[in-house]
Amino acid sequence: MAVQTSGLGLGQLLLALDRTMVSLVEAPRGLDMPVGSVALVDADDVRLGLAVGPGSADLFFLLGVSDDEAVRWIGQHSARVPAAIFVKRPSAAAVKRAVALGVAVVAVEPQARWELLYKLVNHAFEHHGDRGDPQYDSGTDLFGLAQSIADRTRGMISIEDADSHMLAYSASSDDADELRRLTILGRAGPPEHLEWIGQWGIFDALRASGDVVRVAERPELGLRPRLAVGIHLPSTDSRRRPGYAGTIWLQQGATPLADDVEDIMRGGAVLAARIMSRLAATPSTHTMRVQELLGVTNENVDVGAISRELGITADGRAALIGFVGVESSVPADVIALSASAFRADAQVASTGERVYVLLPKTGSASSVTSWVRGVAAALRRELGLTLRAVIAAPLAGLAGAAAARAEVDRVFDSAERHPGAIGQVSSLDEARTTVLLDEIVSQVAGQPRLIDPRVRQLREQDPMLADTLQTYLDGFGDIAAVAQRLHVHPNTVRYRVRRIEKLLSTSLDDPDDRLVLALGLRATER
């Protein structure tokens, strides 16, 4: 899976990634080599001949590829070799062979997560240089902000969200302590460290106000002195307090901090809140293209052009899956990780609480359903999240994605009105009857003139008879089944039906009357 963008220098990229994550081993062609694309290759890709050629990207992450395999693979296309390879624990033999081919070798910290490093490299590609758009200026980027605060305060900065997940950080010095190192490598603070910080009341203080909190050095825990300030997003409701969105942490090194460090930290928290608000409201270019394919933007789009830009197939059998949390929101990045593991060309976008996965080219619908059920089970087991998923498959290419997304939304809308009527994982075909009936009934309920006045009168005068009539109509007039459902004797049902016919001045044998009465009863349900 390769991502292509405009280039920057290899040295600039390594500075952006931080010494905690990577370190340069050799760079035979220097650090000014332009790099603009990255691809992940694992051992099976190389062994089975499935990997893209070494000349198809500037950087390669070699996941689990042995030294012998890596050297042989790089040498296969010596006419155009990559600028650099990223590998964990590179051997001297592999480094020597790579240097002979003119390929830089970058050692990756063994504890680093490949998916995080991949995300950081693409972030560096997207945000380097002057793009002529103030939205992407370094002053409005969390990584740029972290480095600016670090330069101004002479400390090492990290910015985390409310769940202590790392969002951005500044360059680390040799004084980086164990907590900072593990947090950068793992994308989140180690649980034992977070527990200690919580027990000290630090998080309570950060949530309560925008004041800077000082954390004393704890040598026995491997912690250097720290300062922290909470990031608070302004509330849209004047009656509510601003929401806690995360923390800016400053780890002090050997260099004394600036005299006005607390003022700078408070100012940084304000800027971080603005950036986080903008990022939440403004999707990336990639996400906007996926949203255009899904018809979210309500614009006429060139499906072929967008698919070429995204590097995906426009024709063939496609699939669209919508996800939404039942009781709490489902993080889009969690779905994206599962989708990317399932299919390298999976495209993910979200609108509000709903997350959509577009699979450009799929096999059988059963394999998609199996994956979706597995995701639902894993999120419930690992994160305690209950989600609802709707599958639209197969689609006749990406041209059908927008219409499919609209149909998926119809199912979600219906499920919100009637949570128990649609299963946790369902297809459009399985939900179609429920959705159509719900929408018809909603239309009738929204226009009182379409409801037979006799239905309202019966509900007001005798609710028991109204319930009996609805059960009778739903049961197709099967007296025994209706009696069992109502927990009464069949003769009681017959007596009530005769009373209903007399009150309504109609016969329940008339199919038109039954249809009108059934719709009216559903539309007037509480």
The CATH code of the domain that includes 167 is: 3.30.450.40
Tell me what pLDDT residue 138 has.
38
Query: Residue 187 domain-assigned?
Result: yes
Q: Is 125 exposed, middle or buried (0-12, 13-18, 19+ CB in 10 A)?
A: buried
Tell me what pLDDT residue 77 has.
56
The CATH code of the domain that includes 73 is: 3.40.1390.20
Tell me what pLDDT residue 131 has.
38
Q: What strands, in cross-sheet order, belong to the sheet with 59-63?
A: 2-9, 34-42, 59-63, 84-88, 104-108, 22-26
**Residue among 319, 410, 416, 437 nearest 372 (CA):** 319
Same domain, yes or no: 175 and 258: yes
Same domain, yes or no: 276 and 307: no
The CATH code of the domain that includes 364 is: 3.30.70.270
Q: How far is CA 351 from CA 231, 283, 284, 329, 337, in A?
A: 24, 10, 13, 12, 18
Domain end call among 216, 247, 281 = 281
**E strand or H helix at 436:** helix 428-445
**Residue among 147, 168, 171 nearest 159 (CA):** 168
Tell me what pLDDT residue 289 has.
86
Residues contacting residue 359 through CB under 8 Å, at least 6 positions apart: 318, 319, 320, 321, 339, 343, 345, 346, 347, 368, 393
Residues contacting residue 462 through CB under 8 Å, at least 6 positions apart: 503
Total domain count, the chain:
4
Same domain, yes or no: 478 and 395: no
Domain end call among 231, 255, 281 = 281
pTM across the whole model: 0.49
- Is there a contact between 186 and 192 (Cβ–Cβ < 8 Å)? no
Tell me what pLDDT residue 136 has.
37
Query: Residue 288 domain-assigned?
Result: no
For 260, the domain range is 142-281
Tell me what pLDDT residue 3 has.
40
The CATH code of the domain that includes 512 is: 1.10.10.2840
Q: Which segments in the chain show pLDDT lower than 50?
A: 1-6, 50-52, 130-140, 237-241
Same domain, yes or no: 478 and 362: no
